[in-house]
């Protein structure tokens, strides 16, 4: 039985070394951050209502004013289930914001952006996905 365990222990040795190095790998100047993705549907009553030009105005007037440190956005297409329970396909915009952990100012700004989008374009919801991570710009 002893001979069977020896290869297993030797096989686990590289994994142990890898995990022992993990803190050193993570501490190379990376700061704790939160990455948030907001998914904005473009349809208004099953019709494309938020055109590229309308989105540009929204970004200029609302998003840029509330997130002056920066953000990224892109066009997307997805599927979701409406309140009626039926699947719906829809063009959308995804907006991503990376900010320091525990930023009450950014959290407040994101909630205001979501509320204004829903109000302005009659949306049921804006999907918000929050991911904790580490980042650095070089």
pLDDT digits (tens, 9 = 90+) for 97-135: 999 998 899 999 999 999 999 999 999 899 999 999 999
Residues near 86 by Cβ (< 8 Å), separated by ≥ 6?
Answer: none
What number does CATH give the domain 31-135? 3.30.70.120
pTM to 2 decimal places? 0.75
Q: Which sequence spans correspond to the domains of the chain?
A: 31-135
Determine the Cα–Cα distance for residues 38 and 130; give it in Å rounded to an integer: 9
User: pLDDT tens across 36-81, in order?
Assistant: 999 999 998 878 889 999 999 999 999 999 999 999 999 999 987 8
């Amino acid at each position: 039985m002893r001979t069977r365990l020896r290869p297993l222990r030797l096989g686990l040795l590289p994994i142990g070394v890898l995990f022992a190095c993990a803190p050193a790998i993570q501490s190379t100047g990376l700061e704790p951050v939160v990455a948030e993705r907001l998914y904005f549907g473009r349809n208004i009553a099953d019709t494309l209502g938020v055109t590229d030009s309308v989105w540009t105005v929204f970004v200029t007037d609302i998003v840029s004013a509330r997130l002056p440190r920066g953000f990224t956005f892109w066009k997307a297409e997805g599927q979701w289930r409406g309140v009626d329970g039926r699947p719906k396909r829809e063009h959308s915009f995804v907006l991503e914001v990376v900010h320091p952990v525990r930023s009450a100012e950014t959290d407040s700004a994101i909630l205001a952006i979501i509320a204004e989008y829903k109000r302005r374009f009659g949306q049921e919801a804006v999907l918000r996905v929050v991911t904790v991570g580490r980042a650095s710009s070089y």
